[in-house]
Homo-oligomer: A and B are copies of this chain.
């Protein structure tokens, strides 16, 4: 059964930040989750037990601190790679279900919600790339990962589509539905592990109803 495999690496040396700096970034993340977007440099300094001056020295300004935090967090979330070579249909479905599980788990996590809120609230106004960073490590990363899988599935004769991007986008919609916008708008969508697995299976089944080549239909 596909347990969530979105790995949070314990994260030391794979990053451009020193250990102390990562402590600071971790504090920022905590504050973002706990306090929402209203984090001040003073709160960060106090929480991380460092001086404001150090913050500015390391990260330039507030925007730089936020950007660094988002990038650092993004570098930590890695969807487990796919290595399925002998793609029978059951295996393909399993991979898709695992993908969906991972995605739903990440989407509904506190950190992801806080990060997305932060990026969205800045997307309209200031010149900053938080939005594109989140985008690159969110939907786009998922697409880059999933597309080869879908194409392998097509190659093995289990799927049928002309536009891979469109097929991916469809899968995305089937998995995410209105869940993300609802959590972002503050609704308490509590999904436990079991529910996530159910949703993921349903989404995969529906996906095969659309793009599957010779499926038995109807749930």
Interface residues of A (CB under 8 A from B): 35-38, 113-114, 116-117, 119-121, 123-126, 131-132, 134-135, 138-139, 160, 166, 169-170, 172-178, 180-182, 184-187, 202, 206, 209-210, 218
A120 adjacent to B177 (CB under 8 Å): no
How many copies are assembled?
A: 2
Within the complex, the shortest CB–CB distance from A82 to chain B, in Å, comes to: 20
Within the complex, the shortest CB–CB distance from A186 to chain B, in Å, comes to: 3
Within the complex, the shortest CB–CB distance from A4 to chain B, in Å, comes to: 20
A184 adjacent to B114 (CB under 8 Å): no
**Which 7 A-B pairs have CB atoms at the shortest separation, nearest pair first?**
A36-B125, A121-B121, A36-B124, A123-B186, A131-B186, A173-B173, A173-B177
Chain A interface, DSSP helix/strand/loop, else mixed:
helix
Partner of A134, one of B35, B121, B131, B185: B185
